[in-house]
């Protein structure tokens, strides 16, 4: 009996000409939204209750036309987000994505390659490996260095800790933290990114394993305090496994003393990791690369492409000199995977199993801009941050950090209100977006100038917004 197969769902798999129409519609609508966003507030007013009511209308019983759902979604994104793509967004390090990275997302979404194994996606796996090698070499790592793309800095830092534990004790893989005679501990500065606490929890060694080493008053890890902490822990029977220095602290862009940390790691026999999640982009600049001197001595490093390399989120990188440690930490063999070769198949050398083609974002961006283009991108940011500093200090504002990167920790002039109150007023104005943060125990206003299209006018607008808010808050 000949029975025709059921037709594919037209809503999920529309025919080619329909797709073309939706594609054109989407491209056009997104371009218009982008133009409107640039002219509007960085942080639109958002009525969450009204939004929830509208959202509840999607009960998924009655299908809606796709173009209607697309328009609705774009409209909600336009009014329901802090616009990190706005040139007056001086916020966290998440960028306005570079255009080639956006193109990469379209390509990845279209081919949807499975990057777990090289057997099924050899071209994609090779492209990622090529980019990782290029970044590793640029960071001064040896040619045998390896690594992979991650969901972000947290996953990359987690990978570093698992590697450190695996190398420190050959029974960690089978016994977990029970393999250690004493409590395994690791060292980061108290200005480091505190995802380290979650990471210790996830790794099963507990949050109390994180030693928050004192800083030097300028936001950098105090190397003497680090050495003393390791010695103290040893006396107590703890087992130091890793020093993770930060190259570009989250709040203040400070660089821990990488060479001193590398020396201490070497004499203590512990894994040395450099969390260069956002500062790592400096490798692109021949002029500024020396700011990261010492990174090449690390056993591993984290560099996020979705921060200063301006790819779409999330796109981190974990790079290490120790391919064998990496593969013994994440090995697995199954009958259903077509292959499981360490160093070739990403799922046996990394946390993830199924994986998206993230590395294409940096590949296309690097292909289009070259290292020089990225070098100019980071140098430009630093120049704009310098202009901001000049304008502010001329008006008696204070800069609490001496960062070589593009972030300022700003304190208001005397009698001009508290930092937090000023930030609230600035945010309420919608003119620019800045953050409240702490630096060396002080409340500060943080302005990060990493958006690739921010102009001098945008800097003036930020200064004016701060001045106005401080007068109102005084």
Ligand X SMILES: Cc1ncc(COP(=O)(O)O)c(C=O)c1O
Residue 246 contacts ligand X per CB under 6 A: yes
Q: How far is the CB of 307 from ligand X (least distance, A)?
A: 7
Closer residue to ligand X (CB): 154 or 401: 154
Length of the chain: 474
Cα dist from 172 to 41, 162, 176, 210, whole Å: 51, 9, 4, 18
Q: How many residues bind ligand X (CB under 6 A)?
A: 16
- Backbone φ/ψ region at 60: left (φ over 0), alpha (ψ -120 to 50), beta: left
Site map (CB under 6 A) of ligand X, residues 304-333, x = contact: x---------x-x-----------------
Among 135, 195, 298, 447, binds ligand X (CB under 6 A): 195
Cα first-last separation, the chain: 85
Q: How far is the CB of 157 from ligand X (least distance, A)?
A: 6
Residue 153 contacts ligand X per CB under 6 A: yes
- Span interacting with ligand X, options 78-86, 182-190, 270-278, 413-421, rule CB under 6 A: 270-278
Q: In what order do the strands lie in the sheet with 271-275?
A: 146-150, 316-320, 300-304, 271-275, 239-246, 184-189, 210-213
Residue 280 contacts ligand X per CB under 6 A: no
Can you spell out the DSSP letters for 337-392? SS---TTT-GGGSSS-SS---THHHHHHHHHHHHHHHHHHHHHHHHHHHHHHHHHH
Do 321 and 145 contact (CB within 8 A), yes or no?
A: yes
- Span interacting with ligand X, options 133-141, 153-161, 166-174, 438-446, rule CB under 6 A: 153-161
Closer residue to ligand X (CB): 195 or 205: 195
Residues sharing a CB contact under 8 Å with residue 97, sequence separation 6 or more, in sequence order: 85, 310, 311, 312, 313, 361
Closer residue to ligand X (CB): 100 or 279: 279
Residue 91 contacts ligand X per CB under 6 A: no
Among 275, 440, 443, 458, binds ligand X (CB under 6 A): 275
Closer residue to ligand X (CB): 245 or 288: 245
Instruction: List residues binding ligand X (CB under 6 A).
Output: 93, 152-154, 157, 193, 195, 246, 248, 250, 275, 277-278, 304, 314, 316
């Amino acid at each position: 009996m000949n029975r025709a197969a059921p037709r594919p769902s037209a809503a999920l798999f529309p025919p080619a000409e329909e797709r073309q129409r939706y594609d054109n519609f989407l491209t056009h609508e997104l371009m218009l939204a982008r133009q409107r966003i640039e002219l509007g507030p960085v942080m639109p007013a958002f009525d969450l209750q009204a939004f929830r009511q509208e959202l509840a209308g999607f009960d998924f019983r009655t299908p809606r036309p796709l173009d209607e759902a697309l328009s609705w979604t774009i409209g909600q994104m336009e009014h329901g987000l802090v616009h990190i793509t706005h040139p007056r967004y001086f916020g966290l390090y998440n960028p306005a994505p570079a255009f080639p990275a956006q193109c990469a997302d379209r390509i990845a979404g279209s081919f949807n390659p499975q990057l777990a194994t090289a057997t099924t996606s050899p071209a994609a796996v090779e492209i990622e490996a090529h980019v990782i090698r290029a970044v590793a070499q640029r960071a001064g790592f040896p040619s045998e260095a390896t690594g992979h793309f991650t969901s972000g800095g947290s996953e990359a830092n987690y990978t570093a800790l698992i590697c450190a534990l695996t190398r420190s004790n050959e029974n960690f893989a089978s016994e977990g933290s029970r393999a250690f005679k004493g409590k395994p501990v690791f060292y980061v500065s108290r200005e480091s990114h505190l995802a380290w606490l979650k990471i210790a929890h996830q790794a099963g060694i507990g949050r109390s394993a994180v030693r928050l080493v004192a800083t030097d008053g300028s936001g950098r890890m105090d190397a003497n305090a680090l050495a003393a902490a390791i010695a103290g822990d040893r006396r107590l029977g703890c087992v130091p496994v890793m020093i993770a220095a930060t190259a570009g602290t989250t709040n203040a862009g400070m660089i821990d003393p990488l060479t001193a940390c590398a020396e201490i790691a070497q004499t203590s026999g512990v894994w040395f990791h450099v969390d260069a999640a956002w500062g790592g982009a400096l490798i692109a600049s021949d002029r500024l690369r020396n700011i990261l001197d010492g990174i090449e001595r690390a056993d591993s490093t984290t560099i996020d492409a979705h921060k200063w390399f301006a790819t779409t989120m999330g796109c981190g990188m974990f790079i290490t000199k120790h391919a064998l440690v990496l593969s013994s930490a994440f090995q697995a063999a199954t009958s259903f995977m077509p292959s499981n070769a360490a160093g070739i198949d990403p799922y046996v050398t990394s946390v993830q199993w199924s994986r998206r083609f993230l590395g294409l974002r940096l590949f296309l961006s690097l292909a289009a801009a070259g290292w020089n283009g990225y070098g100019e991108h980071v140098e430009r940011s630093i120049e704009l941050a310098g202009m901001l500093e000049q304008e502010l200090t001329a008006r008696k504002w204070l800069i609490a950090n001496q960062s070589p990167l593009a972030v300022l920790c700003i304190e208001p002039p005397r009698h001009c209100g508290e930092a937090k109150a000023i930030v609230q007023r600035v945010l309420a104005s919608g003119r620019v977006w800045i953050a409240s943060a702490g630096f060396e125990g002080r409340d500060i206003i943080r302005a990060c100038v990493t958006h690739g299209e921010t102009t001098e006018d945008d800097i003036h607008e930020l200064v004016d917004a701060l001045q106005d808010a401080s007068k109102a808050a005084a």
